[in-house]
Amino acid sequence: MTDTSKTTNSAGTDDGGRHRGEEHPAPADARASGARVSRRGVLGAVGAGAVGGLVVGAGGGIGAYAATRPAAPTPLTHLGSDAVAFHGTHQAGISTPMQAVGHLVAFDLAPGAGRAEAIALLRRWTACAAPMTEGRPAPGHDTDVALDEGPSALTVTFGFGRSFFDRTGLVKQRPVQLDPLPAFSSDHLDPARSDGDLWIQVGSDDALVAFHALRALQKEAGSTARVRWLMSGFNRSPGATAHPMTMRNLMGQVDGTGNPKPSEPRFGEEIFVPAKPHGTLASPAWMAGGSYAVVRRIRMLLDDWESMPVGKQEKVIGRRKSDGAPLTGGTEDTAMALTKKGPDGELVIPADAHARIAQPSANGGAAMLRRSYSYNDGLRGDGKPDAGLLFVAWQADPLKGFVPVQRKLDRGDALSAFIRHEASGLFAVPAGAAKGEYVGQRLMES
Amino acid sequence: MTDTSKTTNSAGTDDGGRHRGEEHPAPADARASGARVSRRGVLGAVGAGAVGGLVVGAGGGIGAYAATRPAAPTPLTHLGSDAVAFHGTHQAGISTPMQAVGHLVAFDLAPGAGRAEAIALLRRWTACAAPMTEGRPAPGHDTDVALDEGPSALTVTFGFGRSFFDRTGLVKQRPVQLDPLPAFSSDHLDPARSDGDLWIQVGSDDALVAFHALRALQKEAGSTARVRWLMSGFNRSPGATAHPMTMRNLMGQVDGTGNPKPSEPRFGEEIFVPAKPHGTLASPAWMAGGSYAVVRRIRMLLDDWESMPVGKQEKVIGRRKSDGAPLTGGTEDTAMALTKKGPDGELVIPADAHARIAQPSANGGAAMLRRSYSYNDGLRGDGKPDAGLLFVAWQADPLKGFVPVQRKLDRGDALSAFIRHEASGLFAVPAGAAKGEYVGQRLMES
């Protein structure tokens, strides 16, 4: 890797210039999140009236987290030099900007591997991931695949599945939040592609950098853990659009509009476990600063979806396809006029519209930060596209985030007819590791 | 799609600035190739002492075409606005710069579909592809997946497989160049992922743009043709490296060093069928301006490869891993000193080194333009990575390009132990369509 890459901690309020590799102090929100976000994200967010790397709005969308993209044509000096700090209060890859390429991979501990082996693995993984996020080789025998490149916004995020605690004798430390998700009527789950002892999310704006990191992490697993499942996805490339835009999913829908924004006072408590968890169903103390990731592989029935006129698609979602604005008017950020009726006396945003049902106010304020990747695995045996969304939702408590929303959607969402939940995972993602610590140390040594 | 995208025909000799969306006359070479290349490619090539969008060198490498990347940190104003003209003497996607995302898809005509249906399909495909390469929606019911984006260097390239000519009553027009490739001892070919009546290569610097185009083309196939196989790959993103670099493959090796360069006098005749084919084994007249694509899915045995020290890997290739220079010294562009011996009396570049065996001068001057994508399809049942290279090689005549080189490699290439050819295709790619024409018109109406 080149030495041109720098781990930056950048912010600014200039005209949207996309200067990488410059040193700037992080804004308060970014520092509070512990994830030193790149200037790219911060600037885009500032442009959208927020700080911390999120484009925000109000309303539905089944998944993609709205990472900011710079307002082009502004200079993008060197995509590869964009760096996201590995160490911090929170792990990177949660409130840091969405990347163009993502891999989700789950591991199971090998037979015979217990707590000691898991500790050694977490040490190796930490030692492997941290330098790569700075554009440096993985220790040991680096494959050289990313030799010429900067970090390209690489993030590596580690989590623990429910079964991990049994395997390592840590059941007493297991959060109640990892209790199995309820079964939903629309589930068509494949157990082989669900769950897992350990989970890693790799994201980067460059596919070679992402492959390089994935391969290095897999090799560090050695004989301690085996890959249970691996899913790969993508998002729009930085600079592919002229405006900072919320992401689109493969249905063509603006997706991620309703995400909580770091500038909101409740963002921290909605997404991250508080510093001192309290209450009967509170997370254990080792999860302070952590978050819970719900992962769902959601196949889209694109043939069915695309056979409908855009007007009908918009009724299913409750938002305009062109710009994500509510059918009741305004822009993407405008609140839905939920009681507004059309000349026909019907609700303009139908009762079963996805955006209506998914909105936090319809779910006891349930908030989650959706940060998803699209996937395209070619064609199925029946000739239909095996494509959709690798939905990743982050929250301080899935029982207050994903679960109530999905329960509601399961009963009455018009979108359900066009999607299939094919795999599911739920992971406890501990706080970020300080320098000298390994990820998950507070759990493993508790 | 936004109206900020422009189809540009740009060139320049300035300091490497990456300005997209500006109008410049094409350089002579770019015009001669018929593929109006974007300034990005031209400038990079100029920086490497060439014109036309290729980084070049001298020597081996199993596959990736060395597309130029801009010398960063230079301004990249808007990746999405980069456009490659669809119409021209040659189809785009051959001598135009490599993109970050690629899909290769083969179709078979449906039972009952013949020449008339194929003509109608080629008309639909042309009408579908051309606007998308300008950042405009596909006609009819666009899915809106790429609605906010520019063309992001989208290219769509169409070819005909051997079986197409039987199906359409055009056997007399079939080039002898489409005779089946010889069997190689290292082949482990899967017929279901090989060959096909029709072939499309989709490339873009943005994954949503590439998916959007792929989906639109698949839908236009309607009941006329069915997908036979689909493979998806990637390369380094524009801007991920600070220097214009030849691509690296997933073995970490600089790959594509020996590619012919458009500035060389013989480039045109090596890659494209001449305007007036002549000789006993000449291509038919309808192939004038066309090229032949050899497609090989080459799985890499990465576990075996990576278990070797870098020094041994370099002996297998005959080049330094760090920079692609020959083991006999110099830089990537330096000629190999093939007779040079080390202190031990052994050849420095071993007799079975890949770069030695693959070099054109060892194969009667056989030249091909390798323009490949890496692929990563996860893990196989045996836990090994299902990853490698979607090798795509372009030449005026495969009997003078791929076939003699592969025959030679098949007998003595040290790299053979680390790769498996798992699928194979050979396609006649006609000249570019002029405005108002459809791709392949000269064949279909011959």
pLDDT by residue (tens digit) across A404-416?
999 989 888 999 9
What letter does residue B298 receive in the DSSP assignment? E
Which of A29, A108, A255, A413 is an active site residue?
Answer: A255
Residue A331 domain-assigned (yes or no): yes
- Residue B45 and residue B102 in one domain: no
Q: Which residues of B touch A211 (CB under 8 A)?
A: 250, 374, 376, 387
3-state helix, strand, coil in chain B (%, to 5): 25, 20, 55
Residue B187 domain-assigned (yes or no): yes
Q: Which pLDDT score is estimated for A386?
A: 97
Residue A4 domain-assigned (yes or no): no
C-alpha closest to that of B184 among B194, B175, B171: B194
Q: Strand pairing partners for B231?
A: B104
Residue B5 domain-assigned (yes or no): no
Q: A47, A64, A81 — which closes off a domain?
A: A81
Which percentage of chain A shows pLDDT scores above 90? 71
Q: Which pLDDT score is estimated for A186?
A: 82
Q: Which pLDDT score is estimated for A72?
A: 35
Identity (one letter) of the amino acid at B22?
E
* Closest chain A C-alpha to B386 CA, distance in angstroms: 12
- Residue A48 and residue A170 in one domain: no
pLDDT exceeds 90 at position A132: yes
Whether A152 sits inside 8 A of B237 (CB atoms) is yes
Enclosing H/E stretch for A162: helix A162-167
For residue A82 the two structure tokens come to 């964009």
Domain count across chain B: 2
* Closest chain A C-alpha to B255 CA, distance in angstroms: 11
Q: What is the C-alpha separation between B61 and A38, in angstroms, rounded?
A: 36
C-alpha closest to that of B37 among B294, B262, B291: B262
Residue B4 domain-assigned (yes or no): no
- Residue A56 and residue A193 in one domain: no
Testing the interface with B: which of A226, A248, A253, A377 to mutate, by most B Cβ within 10 A?
A248
3-state helix, strand, coil in chain A (%, to 5): 25, 20, 55
Q: Which residues of B touch A253 (CB under 8 A)?
A: 144
C-alpha closest to that of B95 among B403, B368, B424: B368
Q: Which pLDDT score is estimated for B368?
A: 93
Q: Which of A14-23, A102-111, B210-219, B254-263 has the lowest mean pLDDT?
A: A14-23
Residue A356 domain-assigned (yes or no): yes
For residue A47 the two structure tokens come to 């442009």
Q: Which pLDDT score is estimated for A56?
A: 24
- Residue B183 and residue B241 in one domain: yes
Facing residue for B378 by CB, picked from A2, A230, A385: A230
Q: Which residues of B touch A302 (CB under 8 A)?
A: 143, 215
- Residue B53 and residue B114 in one domain: no
Which of B82, B255, B397, B413 is an active site residue?
Answer: B255
Facing residue for A148 by CB, picked from B144, B241, B309: B241
Q: Regarding predicted confidence, which is higher, A326 or A76?
A: A326
- Residue B92 and residue B67 in one domain: no
Residue A235 domain-assigned (yes or no): yes
Testing the interface with A: which of B206, B314, B320 to mutate, by most A Cβ within 10 A?
B206
Whether B207 sits inside 8 A of A77 (CB atoms) is no
Sequence-distant (6+) residues with CB within 8 A of B226 are: A383, B107, B108, B110
- Residue B350 and residue B401 in one domain: yes
Q: B81, B105, B120 — which closes off a domain?
A: B81
Whether A77 sits inside 8 A of B78 (CB atoms) is no
Whether B143 sits inside 8 A of A235 (CB atoms) is no
Give counts: helices (H), strands (E), chain B.
11, 9
Q: Is residue A289 within 8 Å of A221, Cβ to Cβ?
A: no
**Angle ∠(A375,A69,B102) on CA atoms, nearest 5:** 40
> Could you tell me which chain A residue has the CA closest to the CA of B225?
A383
What letter does residue A443 receive in the DSSP assignment? H
C-alpha closest to that of A389 among A299, A317, A258: A299
- Residue B199 and residue B311 in one domain: yes
- Residue A97 and residue A218 in one domain: yes
Q: Which residues of A touch B245 (CB under 8 A)?
A: 148
Low-confidence ranges of chain B (pLDDT < 50): 1-76
Q: Which residues of B touch A250 (CB under 8 A)?
A: 145, 211
Q: Which pLDDT score is estimated for A362?
A: 78
Residue A6 domain-assigned (yes or no): no
pLDDT exceeds 80 at position A319: yes
Whether A78 sits inside 8 A of B376 (CB atoms) is no
Q: Which pLDDT score is estimated for A84?
A: 96
* Closest chain A C-alpha to B313 CA, distance in angstroms: 11
Tell me phi and psi for residue A414, to 5 degrees: -60, -20
Mean pLDDT of A215-239: 95
For residue B247 the two structure tokens come to 């691509």
Q: Which residues of B touch A376 (CB under 8 A)?
A: 211, 214, 232
**Cα→Cα distances B290→B65, B93, B194, B273, B317, Å:** 19, 12, 21, 5, 32
**Angle ∠(B242,B248,B249) on CA atoms, nearest 5:** 155
Q: What is the C-alpha separation between B15 and B88, in angstroms, rounded?
A: 28
Whether A238 sits inside 8 A of B150 (CB atoms) is no
Q: What is the C-alpha separation between A275 and A156, in angstroms, rounded?
A: 22
What letter does residue B149 receive in the DSSP assignment? B
pLDDT bracket for residue A351 (50, 70, 90): very high
Whether A78 sits inside 8 A of B80 (CB atoms) is no
Q: What is the C-alpha separation between B190 and A44, in angstroms, rounded?
A: 47
| Burial group, residue A368, by CB count within 10 angstroms (0-12, 13-18, 19+) | buried
Tell me phi and psi for residue A296, to 5 degrees: -135, 125
Q: Which of A1-10, A127-136, B132-141, B184-193 has the lowest mean pLDDT?
A: A1-10
- Residue B199 and residue B267 in one domain: yes
Whether A248 sits inside 8 A of B383 (CB atoms) is no
Facing residue for B149 by CB, picked from A207, A236, A378: A236
Q: Which pLDDT score is estimated for B240?
A: 85
* Closest chain B C-alpha to A74 CA, distance in angstroms: 5
Q: What is the C-alpha separation between B92 and B84, in angstroms, rounded?
A: 7
pLDDT bracket for residue A363 (50, 70, 90): confident
Q: Which pLDDT score is estimated for B113?
A: 98
Q: Which residues of B touch A230 (CB under 8 A)?
A: 378-379
Q: Which pLDDT score is estimated for A280?
A: 82
Q: Is B255 a catalytic residue?
A: yes
Q: Which of A16-30, A79-93, A334-348, B395-409 has the lowest mean pLDDT?
A: A16-30
Beta strand segments in B111-212, E: 155-160, 198-204
Whether A250 sits inside 8 A of B226 (CB atoms) is no
For residue B261 the two structure tokens come to 């360069």
Q: B56, B81, B106 — which closes off a domain?
A: B81
Whether A76 sits inside 8 A of B79 (CB atoms) is yes
pTM metric for this prediction:
0.86
| Per-residue model confidence as pLDDT tens digits over A426-440 | 999 999 999 999 999
Q: What is the C-alpha separation between A319 and A60, in angstroms, rounded?
A: 8
pLDDT bracket for residue A38 (50, 70, 90): very low
**Angle ∠(A429,A268,A238) on CA atoms, nearest 5:** 75
- Residue B137 and residue B60 in one domain: no
Q: Which pLDDT score is estimated for A244?
A: 66
Domain residue limits at B24: 19-81
Half-sphere exposure for B294 (CA within 13 Å, toward CB): 29
- Residue A41 and residue A181 in one domain: no
